[in-house]
Structure 1
Amino acid sequence: MTLSHLSGSSVVEQQFPLVFAVRDPEGHKGTFGSVGILGGAPGMTGAVILAGRAALKSGVGKTYLALAQTPLPVAYDSNYPELMLHEASGLIESASSMTAWVAGCGLGQAPAALALLRRLFAVRAELPLVLDADALNALAQGEISNTWGKGLVVLTPHPTEAARLLQTDTRTIQSDRAQAAQTLAHRYRAWVVLKGAGTIICSPEGQWQINTTGNVSLATGGTGDVLSGLLGSLLAQGIPAEQAIPAGVWLHGAAADALVSQGKGPIGLTAGELPDAIRDLRNRVSFKENHK
């Protein structure tokens, strides 16, 4: 068992140098990867938009949103036209053109949406895959199975979702969060991010860490979508999982801490405020680390 308390920026600078490295001045949008995000069923478009904005602001080269709606409810995100919106069925057929995928943010449980998820499993070509929200619920209910093939998979449950996956109750999960994360990691052969106060990050081999950034301001709708988009973005940029996943969790919580320190929370902080703070932190730590 490995236990590492991830808190101050000096820790993440040392543990995750690839996340906070200065960018290659000759880099271009292709250099920094492409992430596809599947979700956004009718009435839940905001979830996939939030995930996309988080991916965009955390540095991925190109962000594609695969919406589980036909036709699309909007042509583009007017605040962030850089996000490329597509009907999911078409984008999934070019799944291998991405460098990572995220699935589940506002996906819903409709049969057509779950068919899209199964199709993504079939064609993702071993690309990193982050599963959240409705994808986890479908897995827990047996509507889908872990037929996602080889390649990195990250599960990001909150305690109630973890309880469904393990067929127990939330109290049991919370009584031994590390054990719950390890059990999930072993069962699904995946990285696990068990969200909540003291988020647990567990590798498929069972090594786990506690993240100590973050606060109660994150207890609001959409913050999990932001985390999923952030994790997908870092993985799409080619950062290895052992750095991208814990550093992403650290950035997500540290962004909330920074906003609260500025008087923007904890009451009333919104998920949509996090991506800018995440971008600021990644740039600030990178600048400080490389200009000592």
Structure 2
Amino acid sequence: MFSSPYRVTHFDTLLQNAGHFPHIFAPRAEESHKGTYGTLAVIGGAEGMSGAVVLAASAAIYSGCGKVWAGFNQKALPFPVIPERPEIMLDTAAGLQQRQDIGAWVLGCGLGLGSTSVTLLRAQLAACRAAPLLLDADALTLLAHHPDLADQAVRQTPLVLTPHPAEAARLLSCTTAAIQADRSAAARQIAQKFHAHTVLKGRHTIVCSPNGSEYINRSGNPGLATAGSGDVLSGIIGSLLAQGVPVGEAVCGGVWLHGAAADVLRDSGIGEIGMLAGELAAAARWLRNRMIAAVQTA
């Protein structure tokens, strides 16, 4: 019999939390195909930061997206295929932006802050696509430094922003200490300023919708304090958006699943110290399927 490498404690609590996200933890239809579950494009990965896009795109494919593209902010592809994940399709960022078959976009993971990055973000916002757009990492810093981009972002619907406290401080022109002093108010201000679902990352991540409703996440542990963790979160949320999960549920549920995956790794004996971002996606996949099976038999 197959022995799972994962285990959980407080299973009933996990199942209760999963119940708040019915679209995420619904079984798949028998009559379905890869097109049923959407196409996600992840754009970023300037030279020296290709791993950020690989982490986000890998998390997206593990999270159930039908097709995933990784677009690198480089003149040519840094490699012809991702050896561990050949399922992910590759293009340059500029080339990927020309596609018309993308159901959701993630932009910013390892994007860089140079002129090419500004051009990519400006082109993405100017396209005024109806597909959901998630901006993370360097894309948030560019919004803070370029008022014209911030003005364009306000017109993008639906828009998701996922700042850590320092990025939130840039968006609000204040200090990180001020953000941390009242995290709820900061998330609300960013959500209102950009008309965006805002994920203020950190202990007890806060999600605020454009209408001011707030969700405080309780899953997760200090193992998430590692390079690439935010890229994985962006990939999970982007994947759920591409799959057609309602925006509010995709954002809140993605945050919960990301944190719960870290708890699965902790409870499975991996521990919090040295937990790798690249380990999160497979744990999230296992947990999602475990929860779906439990819901079906309940």
- How far apart are 1:85 and its partner, in Å? 0.7
Residue number in structure 2 paired with 1:250: 256
SS at match of 1:197: coil
Residue 144 (structure 2) pairs with residue 140 (structure 1): yes
Paired amino acid for 1:153: L
> How far apart, CA to CA, are the structure 1 residues paired with 2:18 and 2:109?
30
Give the C-alpha shift of residue 13 in structure 1.
3.1
2:75: which partner in 1?
A: 70
Equivalents in 2 of 1:247, 1:106: separation in Å?
Answer: 24
Q: CA deviation at 1:244?
A: 0.9
Q: Could you say which residue in structure 1 is the equivalent of 2:209?
A: 203
Task: Tell me what 1:4 maps to.
Answer: none
Between the aligned residues of both structures, percent identity stands at 48
Q: Aligned residue for 2:64?
A: 59
Deviation of 1:271 after TM superposition, in Å, equals 0.3
Q: Which runs of 4+ in 1 moved over 4 A?
A: none
Calculate the TM-score normalised by the size of structure 1.
0.95
CA-atom RMSD in angstroms: 1.3
Q: Which amino acid aligns with 1:139?
A: L
Which among 274, 290, 294 is matched to residue 268 of structure 1? 274
8 Å CA contact retained: 1:93, 1:123: no
1:213 aligns to 2:219 (yes or no): yes
Within 2, Cα distance between the matches of 1:8 and 1:228? Answer: 25
* Displacement after TM superposition at 1:123 (Å): 2.2
What is the aligned counterpart of 1:172 among 161, 166, 178? 178
Q: 1:286 to 1:197 in 2, by over 3 A?
A: same
Gaps of 5+ in 1: 1-6
- Out of 161, 169, 172, the position equivalent to 1:155 is 161
Moved more, 258-267 or 223-232: 258-267
Partner residue of 1:84 out of 86, 89, 108: 89
Letter in 2 for 1:232: G
SS at match of 1:64: strand
Q: Is the 8 A contact 2:128 2:156 kept in 1?
A: no
What is residue 191 of structure 2 aligned with on the other side? 185
One-letter code of the match for 1:64? W
Supply the AA of the counterpart residue of 1:187: K
Q: Is 1:285 the equivalent of 2:288?
A: no
Native 8 Å contact 2:106 2:134 kept in 1: yes
Aligned length: 285
Question: TM-score, normalising length from structure 2?
Answer: 0.93
Tell me how far 1:124 sits from its aligned partner: 5.0
